[in-house]
C-alpha cells in the first residue's frame, strides 16, 4: 500500500421499515412510516443507479429483515458488484441480547452466507451498539472487519478488543447523511457540512467513510438530494481518492497479521 494512499469507502445502511418494525407490532405498522417504504419504491434503486453511473463499487450493510422485504433489489446489489456486509437480523440492540448474542450473530451470518453464496467479511451494528463480546463473536465467525465505531479517524487493529487479525473501519458522523437530516438540516447545509468533513479527514489520515441511507427522511434517496450526493462524489474524485469496497481495504491493511495504515502501525 502506498504511503500516500487517499481512500474513500462508500457504505450504505439498507434501512427500510426495519427500524420501526423492531418496535411496532406488524398489525400496527401498516399504513405508517412511509419514509421507510420509500427505500423499497424509489430510494434504493436511485442510489444503486447513482453508484453505477459513477462506476463505484460500494459496501452495503444489509439486515436480514430488509433482504426479505426487497429481495429483487438485494439481487441487483449483488449483480452490480457491491460488497454485501452484515447488519444484524432485525435491528436488534446488542446491549439487550445478553447470552443470546452469540446465537443471534450466528443466525445472521448463516442466513447472509446462504443468500449470497459467500460468507460476509464485514459487520456494522444495526443500532450502533456493541458489547465486550461482539468482536470476539465476529472473529470466531471469520469476519475481517467491523465498521460500527467512530472513535478514530483511520483504520486500526481490533486485537485489543478480542479481534486478532481484524480491523476497525471507523465511520464519521459528519460524513453520514442521517446525522444532518435527522437534525432537519437543509440540503445545502448538509452538503456543506459533509464537504468540510471530507476535506478535513482526507488531509489528516487519507481515509474517509461515507455512510448513506436510501430512506426518504434521513437519507439521500430523494431526487433532490441525489444532486448533492453527486457533487460530493465529484469532489472526492477531484481530490484524488480511490473508492474501495470495505472488505478489499481491510485485506490490504493487514500486513503479516498486523494492521498498517499508510505506512504506520495501527
Q: What is the pLDDT of residues 10-19, one digit of tens each?
A: 999 999 989 8
Joined grid coordinates for residue 78: 449483488
Residue with cell 470495505: 246
Give yes or no for residue 29 having a pLDDT over 80. no
Q: Using N-to-C axis directions, what is the helix angle for 44-53 and 71-79, rounded to 10°? A: 10
- Is 2 inside any structural domain? no
Give yes or no for residue 46 having a pLDDT over 60. yes
Report which DSSP code applies to 176: B
- Is 81 inside any structural domain? yes
pLDDT in tens, 191-223: 999 999 999 999 999 999 999 999 999 999 999
- The predicted pLDDT at position 2 comes to 40
- Is 1 inside any structural domain? no
Count of structural domains, the chain: 1
pLDDT in tens, 96-105: 999 999 999 9
User: CA 190, CA 254: separation in Å to the nearest integer?
Assistant: 34
Give yes or no for residue 71 having a pLDDT over 60. yes
Q: Which residues of 165-183 are buried (b: 16+ CB within 10 A; e: fewer)?
A: bbbbbbbbebbbbbbbbee
- Is 84 inside any structural domain? yes
- Is 117 inside any structural domain? yes
Is-contact 40 61, C-beta < 8 A?
no
- The predicted pLDDT at position 33 comes to 63
Residue (of 258, 171, 166) closest to 211 by Cα position: 171
Greater confidence (210 vs 257) lies with: 210
User: CA 260, CA 32: separation in Å to the nearest integer?
Assistant: 47
- Within 94-195, strands assigned E span 122-123, 145-146, 156-158, 163-168
**pTM for the full model?**
0.95
Is-contact 176 197, C-beta < 8 A?
no
- Is 57 inside any structural domain? yes
Greater confidence (25 vs 247) lies with: 247
- The predicted pLDDT at position 1 comes to 38
- Is 250 inside any structural domain? yes
The pLDDT of 127-151, averaged and rounded, is: 97
Q: Which residue range is the domain that position 165 belongs to?
A: 7-265
DSSP line for 37-77 = HHIIIIIHHHHHHHHHHTT---EEEE-HHHHHH-HHHHHHH
- The predicted pLDDT at position 47 comes to 98
The pLDDT of 38-49, averaged and rounded, is: 96
Give yes or no for residue 27 having a pLDDT over 80. no
The pLDDT of 52-56, averaged and rounded, is: 98
- Is 165 inside any structural domain? yes
The pLDDT of 149-170, averaged and rounded, is: 96
The pLDDT of 134-149, averaged and rounded, is: 98
CATH code of the domain in which 236 resides? 3.20.20.370
Amino acid at each position: 500500500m502506498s504511503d500516500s494512499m487517499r481512500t474513500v469507502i462508500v457504505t450504505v445502511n439498507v434501512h427500510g421499515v426495519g427500524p420501526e418494525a423492531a418496535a411496532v407490532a406488524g398489525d400496527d405498522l401498516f399504513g405508517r412510516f412511509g419514509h421507510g417504504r420509500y427505500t423499497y419504491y424509489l430510494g434504493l434503486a436511485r442510489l444503486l443507479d447513482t453508484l453505477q453511473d459513477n462506476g463505484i463499487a460500494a459496501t452495503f450493510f444489509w439486515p436480514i429483515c430488509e433482504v426479505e422485504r426487497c429481495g429483487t433489489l438485494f439481487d441487483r446489489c449483488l449483480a452490480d458488484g457491491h460488497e454485501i456486509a452484515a447488519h444484524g437480523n432485525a435491528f436488534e440492540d446488542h446491549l439487550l441480547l445478553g447470552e443470546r448474542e452469540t446465537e443471534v450473530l450466528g443466525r445472521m451470518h448463516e442466513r447472509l452466507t446462504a443468500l449470497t453464496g459467500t460468507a460476509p467479511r464485514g459487520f456494522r451494528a444495526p443500532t450502533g451498539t456493541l458489547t465486550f463480546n461482539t468482536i470476539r463473536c465476529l472473529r470466531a465467525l471469520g469476519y475481517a472487519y467491523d465498521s460500527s465505531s467512530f472513535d478514530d479517524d483511520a483504520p486500526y487493529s481490533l486485537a485489543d478488543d478480542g479481534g486478532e487479525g481484524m480491523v476497525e473501519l471507523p465511520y464519521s458522523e459528519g460524513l453520514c447523511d442521517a446525522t444532518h437530516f435527522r437534525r432537519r438540516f437543509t440540503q445545502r447545509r448538509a452538503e456543506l457540512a459533509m464537504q468540510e468533513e471530507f476535506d478535513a479527514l482526507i488531509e489528516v489520515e487519507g481515509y474517509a467513510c461515507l455512510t448513506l441511507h436510501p430512506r426518504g427522511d434521513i437519507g439521500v434517496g430523494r431526487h433532490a438530494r441525489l444532486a448533492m450526493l453527486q457533487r460530493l462524489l465529484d469532489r472526492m474524485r477531484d481530490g484524488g481518492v480511490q473508492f474501495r469496497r470495505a472488505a478489499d481495504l481491510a485485506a490490504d491493511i493487514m500486513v503479516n497479521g498486523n494492521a498498517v495504515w499508510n505506512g504506520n502501525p495501527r
